[in-house]
Amino acid sequence: MEVFIPSFRYEESELERGYTVFKIEVLMNGRKHFVEKRYSEFHALHKKLKKFIRTPEIPSKHVRNWVPKVLEQRRQGLELYLQTVILENEELPKIFLDFLNVRHVPTLPKAESCGSFDETESEESSKLSHQPVLLFLRDPYVLPKANGNPTENSNQKMKNTAFLFLLLTLWLFCLKDLNLEAQSFMTFRT
Protein backbone atom coordinates (compact mmCIF):
# COMPACT_ATOMS: atom_id res chain seq x y z
CA MET A 1 0.00 0.00 0.00
CA GLU A 2 1.25 3.47 -0.86
CA VAL A 3 -0.19 6.74 0.42
CA PHE A 4 0.39 10.31 -0.72
CA ILE A 5 -1.19 13.66 0.00
CA PRO A 6 -0.82 15.47 -3.32
CA SER A 7 -2.90 18.54 -2.46
CA PHE A 8 -5.08 20.45 -0.03
CA ARG A 9 -7.76 23.11 -0.29
CA TYR A 10 -9.43 25.61 1.97
CA GLU A 11 -13.16 25.13 2.66
CA GLU A 12 -15.47 27.90 3.81
CA SER A 13 -18.55 27.07 5.82
CA GLU A 14 -21.44 29.14 7.13
CA LEU A 15 -21.79 26.93 10.22
CA GLU A 16 -18.14 27.04 11.33
CA ARG A 17 -14.97 28.88 10.48
CA GLY A 18 -13.00 27.81 7.42
CA TYR A 19 -10.84 24.72 7.46
CA THR A 20 -8.32 22.87 5.29
CA VAL A 21 -9.14 19.58 3.56
CA PHE A 22 -6.25 17.28 2.61
CA LYS A 23 -6.65 15.04 -0.44
CA ILE A 24 -5.15 11.58 0.26
CA GLU A 25 -4.22 9.32 -2.65
CA VAL A 26 -4.25 5.60 -1.77
CA LEU A 27 -2.60 3.08 -4.13
CA MET A 28 -3.26 -0.56 -3.38
CA ASN A 29 -3.01 -3.64 -5.61
CA GLY A 30 -2.75 -1.47 -8.70
CA ARG A 31 -5.88 0.50 -7.82
CA LYS A 32 -6.06 4.13 -6.80
CA HIS A 33 -8.68 6.03 -4.86
CA PHE A 34 -8.85 9.37 -3.08
CA VAL A 35 -10.02 10.29 0.40
CA GLU A 36 -10.44 13.80 1.77
CA LYS A 37 -9.79 14.45 5.46
CA ARG A 38 -9.50 17.45 7.74
CA TYR A 39 -6.66 17.83 10.21
CA SER A 40 -9.06 17.15 13.08
CA GLU A 41 -9.72 13.69 11.57
CA PHE A 42 -5.97 13.02 11.39
CA HIS A 43 -5.66 14.07 15.03
CA ALA A 44 -8.55 11.79 16.10
CA LEU A 45 -6.93 8.90 14.18
CA HIS A 46 -3.63 9.57 15.94
CA LYS A 47 -5.26 9.43 19.38
CA LYS A 48 -6.93 6.09 18.54
CA LEU A 49 -3.82 4.57 16.97
CA LYS A 50 -1.69 5.37 20.03
CA LYS A 51 -3.75 2.82 21.97
CA PHE A 52 -2.77 -0.02 19.60
CA ILE A 53 0.58 0.75 17.96
CA ARG A 54 3.65 2.90 18.32
CA THR A 55 2.89 6.01 16.27
CA PRO A 56 5.17 8.60 14.71
CA GLU A 57 4.83 12.25 15.62
CA ILE A 58 1.95 14.11 14.04
CA PRO A 59 2.32 17.76 12.96
CA SER A 60 1.28 20.27 15.56
CA LYS A 61 -2.44 20.85 16.04
CA HIS A 62 -1.99 24.60 16.44
CA VAL A 63 -0.80 26.65 13.50
CA ARG A 64 -0.12 30.37 13.90
CA ASN A 65 -1.13 31.45 10.43
CA TRP A 66 -2.79 29.77 7.50
CA VAL A 67 -0.43 30.90 4.76
CA PRO A 68 0.22 28.42 1.95
CA LYS A 69 3.83 27.77 3.07
CA VAL A 70 2.67 26.65 6.53
CA LEU A 71 -0.13 24.52 5.07
CA GLU A 72 2.36 22.90 2.68
CA GLN A 73 4.57 21.96 5.65
CA ARG A 74 1.53 20.46 7.38
CA ARG A 75 0.63 18.52 4.20
CA GLN A 76 4.16 17.10 4.03
CA GLY A 77 4.09 16.22 7.74
CA LEU A 78 0.74 14.42 7.46
CA GLU A 79 1.93 12.52 4.37
CA LEU A 80 5.08 11.43 6.24
CA TYR A 81 2.91 10.42 9.22
CA LEU A 82 0.73 8.08 7.10
CA GLN A 83 3.72 6.61 5.26
CA THR A 84 5.57 5.95 8.53
CA VAL A 85 2.56 4.17 10.06
CA ILE A 86 2.48 1.88 7.00
CA LEU A 87 6.23 1.21 7.00
CA GLU A 88 6.60 0.54 10.71
CA ASN A 89 3.67 -1.85 11.17
CA GLU A 90 3.48 -5.39 9.85
CA GLU A 91 -0.31 -5.43 10.27
CA LEU A 92 -2.25 -2.21 9.89
CA PRO A 93 -5.05 -1.62 12.41
CA LYS A 94 -8.63 -1.61 11.13
CA ILE A 95 -8.99 1.98 12.38
CA PHE A 96 -6.20 3.04 10.02
CA LEU A 97 -7.64 1.11 7.07
CA ASP A 98 -11.09 2.58 7.70
CA PHE A 99 -9.58 6.07 7.78
CA LEU A 100 -8.18 5.43 4.27
CA ASN A 101 -11.42 3.74 3.09
CA VAL A 102 -9.56 0.49 2.42
CA ARG A 103 -12.01 -2.40 2.51
CA HIS A 104 -9.90 -5.39 1.43
CA VAL A 105 -6.42 -6.17 2.63
CA PRO A 106 -4.43 -8.97 1.01
CA THR A 107 -3.22 -11.76 3.28
CA LEU A 108 0.27 -11.56 1.82
CA PRO A 109 3.06 -9.90 3.78
CA LYS A 110 3.00 -6.09 3.91
CA ALA A 111 5.59 -5.74 1.12
CA GLU A 112 3.39 -6.30 -1.90
CA SER A 113 6.19 -6.57 -4.42
CA CYS A 114 7.94 -9.85 -5.06
CA GLY A 115 11.25 -8.14 -4.35
CA SER A 116 14.40 -8.42 -6.37
CA PHE A 117 16.18 -11.63 -7.24
CA ASP A 118 19.12 -10.58 -5.08
CA GLU A 119 17.04 -10.51 -1.91
CA THR A 120 16.97 -13.62 0.20
CA GLU A 121 13.53 -14.13 1.65
CA SER A 122 12.64 -16.43 4.45
CA GLU A 123 10.59 -19.45 3.50
CA GLU A 124 7.71 -18.15 5.62
CA SER A 125 7.44 -14.78 3.82
CA SER A 126 7.63 -16.26 0.33
CA LYS A 127 4.62 -18.55 0.83
CA LEU A 128 1.40 -17.49 -0.82
CA SER A 129 -1.87 -18.08 0.88
CA HIS A 130 -4.68 -19.54 -1.17
CA GLN A 131 -8.28 -19.16 -0.23
CA PRO A 132 -11.30 -20.63 -1.99
CA VAL A 133 -13.39 -18.19 -3.92
CA LEU A 134 -16.39 -20.44 -4.46
CA LEU A 135 -17.41 -23.60 -2.71
CA PHE A 136 -19.77 -26.17 -4.20
CA LEU A 137 -21.44 -28.64 -1.90
CA ARG A 138 -21.53 -31.04 -4.84
CA ASP A 139 -20.20 -30.84 -8.37
CA PRO A 140 -23.18 -29.72 -10.48
CA TYR A 141 -21.64 -31.18 -13.67
CA VAL A 142 -20.74 -34.67 -12.47
CA LEU A 143 -23.09 -35.70 -9.67
CA PRO A 144 -26.75 -36.50 -10.37
CA LYS A 145 -29.58 -34.43 -9.00
CA ALA A 146 -30.46 -35.15 -5.37
CA ASN A 147 -34.12 -35.72 -6.15
CA GLY A 148 -35.50 -37.80 -8.96
CA ASN A 149 -35.83 -41.38 -10.10
CA PRO A 150 -33.37 -43.72 -8.24
CA THR A 151 -32.85 -45.81 -11.39
CA GLU A 152 -32.05 -42.65 -13.32
CA ASN A 153 -29.55 -41.63 -10.60
CA SER A 154 -27.77 -45.02 -10.68
CA ASN A 155 -27.62 -44.89 -14.51
CA GLN A 156 -26.13 -41.42 -14.30
CA LYS A 157 -23.60 -42.61 -11.69
CA MET A 158 -22.57 -45.44 -14.04
CA LYS A 159 -22.10 -42.97 -16.93
CA ASN A 160 -20.09 -40.65 -14.67
CA THR A 161 -17.88 -43.51 -13.48
CA ALA A 162 -17.23 -44.63 -17.05
CA PHE A 163 -16.45 -41.06 -18.08
CA LEU A 164 -14.04 -40.59 -15.17
CA PHE A 165 -12.34 -43.91 -16.02
CA LEU A 166 -11.91 -42.74 -19.62
CA LEU A 167 -10.40 -39.42 -18.47
CA LEU A 168 -8.03 -41.19 -16.10
CA THR A 169 -6.92 -43.61 -18.82
CA LEU A 170 -6.25 -40.76 -21.26
CA TRP A 171 -4.33 -38.86 -18.60
CA LEU A 172 -2.16 -41.88 -17.77
CA PHE A 173 -1.53 -42.52 -21.47
CA CYS A 174 -0.42 -38.91 -22.01
CA LEU A 175 1.74 -39.05 -18.91
CA LYS A 176 3.40 -42.26 -20.11
CA ASP A 177 3.93 -40.71 -23.54
CA LEU A 178 5.50 -37.59 -22.01
CA ASN A 179 7.76 -39.74 -19.83
CA LEU A 180 8.98 -41.67 -22.91
CA GLU A 181 9.68 -38.41 -24.75
CA ALA A 182 11.60 -37.06 -21.75
CA GLN A 183 13.67 -40.27 -21.52
CA SER A 184 14.49 -40.25 -25.24
CA PHE A 185 15.41 -36.56 -25.02
CA MET A 186 17.74 -37.25 -22.10
CA THR A 187 19.31 -40.22 -23.95
CA PHE A 188 19.79 -38.07 -27.05
CA ARG A 189 21.53 -35.28 -25.04
CA THR A 190 24.00 -37.62 -23.36
- Across 186-190, average pLDDT: 50
**What is the crossing angle of helices 39-49 and 68-88, to 10°?**
30
In the chain, alpha helices (H): 39-49, 68-88, 94-99, 123-126, 150-189
Assign 93 to helix, strand or coil. coil
Whether pLDDT at 48 is above 90: yes
Q: In what order do the strands lie in the sheet with 31-38?
A: 2-11, 19-28, 31-38
What is the model's pLDDT at position 168?
76
Weakest-pLDDT range from 115-119, 153-157, 168-172: 115-119
For domain 2-104, give the fold.
PX Domain (3.30.1520)
Share of the chain above pLDDT 90, in %: 37
**CA-based angle 168:169:171, to the nearest 5?**
65
Q: How far apart are CA 45 and CA 39, in angstroms?
A: 10
Query: If you ran DSSP here, which 8-state letter would residue 144 be given?
Result: P
- Across 144-165, average pLDDT: 66
- Across 177-181, average pLDDT: 62
